[in-house]
C-alpha cells in the first residue's frame, strides 16, 4: 500500500517513514527541506534497506502535488506532517504560519479530491487544548489555542471536520501529539533544530555536547512536585508506531473523523528529565533556575486511553530510553 508523507524528512516524519517501511508500506515523501536535510533520506535507506521515492516540492504548490499524484495514482493515504512549528516565530510572523500550515492542508485536500484519495492523517498537537488545571486532557476537553501556531493546528482540525462533513466517505484521523523526544535506536535520525533550540530536550542535548554551558530552567515556582513544569514526553519511535496503528484503522475503512491523543499519560517535570538524562548519560548537564517563560503552563498530560482502546496503541519506551537515544543522536550529529 502506497502512502504519501508530507514533511517526511522532518523529525517525526522520518521516524514514521522508517516504521511504515518496516511494516511493508511503500512510502513516498514530499518535503521542501525548509526544516530538514536531504541526508535524512539516505539515513532512512541505511536503516530500512529501502530508499523511498522523494520529491523536493512545496506542499502548498497544488501543481507540484498533482504531478506527484500523476506519477503515483495509487496513493492510498496521506500523512500530513509538513508545517512550521515554532511558537515564538509564529507570534512574530503569523502570516508565514497561516500560509504554510493552512495553505498546505487546503492544497492537499483539493488534490486528493481530484485523484479520489480518501484517507488522511493529520499531525495536530496538545497545544489545541484550552489552558486548564484539569488533567489529564481527553479528546473532548475544551479547545482554545493561545498563539498563531496553535491556531493553525486548531483551524486545520476545523477545516478537516467541515470537509469530512461535506464528504462522508472521506476518512480522517487527527493525532494530537504531546511532547515527542528521543531518537531512533540506530542513532542515525533524530531531532536537529536550526539555531538555538526552543524545546527542552534539544537544548539539554546541546548542553551535554558542550555547545551551551548550562540549561536555563524556566521557573521553579509552579504548583508541581518540584516547582518545575510537567509535560507528557513520548518517545518519537512510539509516536511513529502510533501512526502505523492509525493507518491500519484508517485503511480498514469507514472511519469518518476520529481524534486521538498520542501521549503516555504520565507527566514528568523538567528536573525529572535533567536528572534522568544525567543518570543515564553521565553528569553532563548543569542548570540554573530562571523566571517562567511567558505562555507556559504548569502541567500538561494526556489521557492515552482512547488510542489504547480504539487503535491498540500504547507507548512502551521509558524516560531512560528517551534520554539515552536523544544523546546518542546528538553525539553522532555534533
Ligand atoms: P519538522 O520541522 O522536523 O518536520 C516538518 C517537515 O516539513 C520538515 O522536514 C520541513 O522541511 C517540511 N515542510 C514544512 N513546510 C513544508 C511545505 N510547505 N512543503 C513541504 N515540506 C514542508 O517538525 P516535526 O517535529 O517533525 O513536526 C511534524 C508535524 O508535527 C508538524 O505539523 C508539527 O506542527 C506537528 N507537531 C510537532 C510536535 C513536536 O513537538 N515536534 C508536537 C505537536 C505537533
Ligand atoms: N523548558 C525549560 N528550559 C528550556 C526549554 C524548556 O525549562 O530551555 C521547560 C518549559 O518551561 C516546559 C518544559 O521544559 O516546562 C517543556 O518545554 P518545551 O518547550 O520542550 O515544550 P512545550 O510543552 O512548551 O511545548 C511543546 C511544543 C509545542 C506543543 C507542545 C505540546 O513546543 O508546540 O509541546 O505538543 F504544542
Query: Domain holding 49: CATH number?
Result: 3.40.50.720
Residue 324 in domain: no
**Would you write out the chain's pLDDT as a tens digit for each of its 334 residues?**
999 999 999 999 999 999 999 999 999 999 999 999 999 999 999 999 999 999 999 999 999 999 999 999 999 999 999 999 999 999 999 999 999 999 999 999 999 999 999 999 999 999 999 999 999 999 999 999 989 999 999 999 999 999 999 999 999 999 999 999 999 999 999 998 878 999 999 999 999 999 999 999 999 999 999 999 999 999 999 999 999 999 999 988 789 999 999 999 999 999 999 999 999 999 999 999 999 998 899 999 999 999 999 999 999 999 999 999 999 999 998 7
Residue 272 counted as domain residue? no
C-alpha cell at 84: 512550521
In a domain, 289, yes or no: no
Q: Is 315 exposed, middle or buried (0-12, 13-18, 19+ CB in 10 A)?
A: buried
Please report the pLDDT score of residue 181 as a whole number.
98
Quick check: is 195 in a domain? Answer: no
In a domain, 124, yes or no: yes
177 a catalytic residue: no
- Domain enclosing residue 40, as ranges: 2-181+233-263
Domain count, the chain: 1
- Residue 130 inside a domain? The answer is yes
Spacing, Cα 216 to ligand 2 middle (Å): 12
Q: What is the DSSP string of 130-185?
A: PP-SS-SBPTTSPB---SHHHHHHHHHHHHHHHHHHH-TT-EEEEEEE-EEE---T
Cα 119 from Cα 79, distance rounded (Å): 9
Nearest-angstrom CA–CA distance, 243 and 299: 25
Residue of 11, 122, 149, 268 marked catalytic: 149
104 CA closest ligand 1 atom index: 18
Report how far ligand 1's centroid is from the alpha carbon of 161 (Å): 21
Write down the pLDDT at residue 74: 95
Q: What is the pLDDT of residue 73?
A: 92
Interatomic CA distance for residues 256 and 167, integer angstroms:
9
In a domain, 298, yes or no: no
In a domain, 70, yes or no: yes
Amino acid at each position: 500500500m502506497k502512502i504519501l508523507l508530507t514533511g517526511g524528512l522532518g523529525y517525526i516524519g522520518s521516524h514514521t517513514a522508517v516504521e511504515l517501511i518496516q511494516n511493508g508500506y511503500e512510502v513516498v515523501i514530499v518535503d521542501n527541506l525548509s526544516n530538514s536535510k536531504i541526508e535524512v533520506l539516505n539515513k532512512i535507506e541505511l536503516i530500512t534497506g529501502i530508499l523511498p521515492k522523494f520529491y523536493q516540492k512545496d506542499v502548498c504548490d497544488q501543481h507540484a502535488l498533482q504531478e506527484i499524484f500523476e506519477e503515483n495514482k495509487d496513493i492510498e493515504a496521506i500523512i500530513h506532517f509538513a508545517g512550521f512549528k515554532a511558537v515564538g516565530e509564529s507570534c512574530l510572523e503569523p502570516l508565514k504560519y497561516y500560509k504554510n500550515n493552512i495553505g498546505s492542508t487546503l492544497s492537499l485536500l483539493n488534490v486528493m479530491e481530484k485523484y479520489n484519495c480518501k484517507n488522511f492523517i493529520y499531525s495536530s498537537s496538545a497545544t489545541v487544548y484550552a489552558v486548564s488545571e484539569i488533567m489529564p486532557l481527553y479528546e473532548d476537553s475544551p479547545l482554545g489555542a493561545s498563539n498563531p501556531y496553535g491556531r493553525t493546528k486548531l483551524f486545520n482540525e476545523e477545516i478537516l471536520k467541515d470537509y469530512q462533513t461535506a464528504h462522508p466517505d472521506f476518512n480522517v484521523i487527527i493525532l494530537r501529539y504531546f511532547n515527542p523526544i528521543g531518537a531512533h535506536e540506530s542513532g542515525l535520525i533524530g531531532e536537529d533544530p536550526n539555531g538555538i533550540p526552543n524545546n527542552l530536550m534539544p537544548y539539554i542535548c546541546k548542553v551535554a555536547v558542550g555547545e551551551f554551558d548550562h540549561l536555563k530552567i524556566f521557573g521553579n515556582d509552579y504548583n508541581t512536585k518540584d516547582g518545575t513544569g510537567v509535560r507528557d514526553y513520548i518517545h518519537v519511535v512510539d509516536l511513529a508506531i502510533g501512526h502505523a496503528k492509525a493507518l491500519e484503522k484508517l485503511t480498514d475503512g469507514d472511519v469518518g473523523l476520529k481524534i486521538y491523543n498520542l501521549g503516555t499519560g504520565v507527566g514528568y517535570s523538567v528536573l525529572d528529565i535533567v536528572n534522568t538524562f544525567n543518570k543515564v548519560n553521565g553528569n553532563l548537564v548543569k542548570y540554573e533556575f530562571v523566571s517562567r517563560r511567558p505562555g507556559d503552563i504548569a502541567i500538561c498530560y494526556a489521557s492515552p486511553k482512547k488510542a489504547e482502546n480504539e487503535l491498540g496503541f500504547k507507548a512502551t519506551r521509558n524516560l531512560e530510553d528517551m534520554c539515552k537515544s536523544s544523546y546518542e543522536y546528538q553525539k553522532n550529529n555534533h
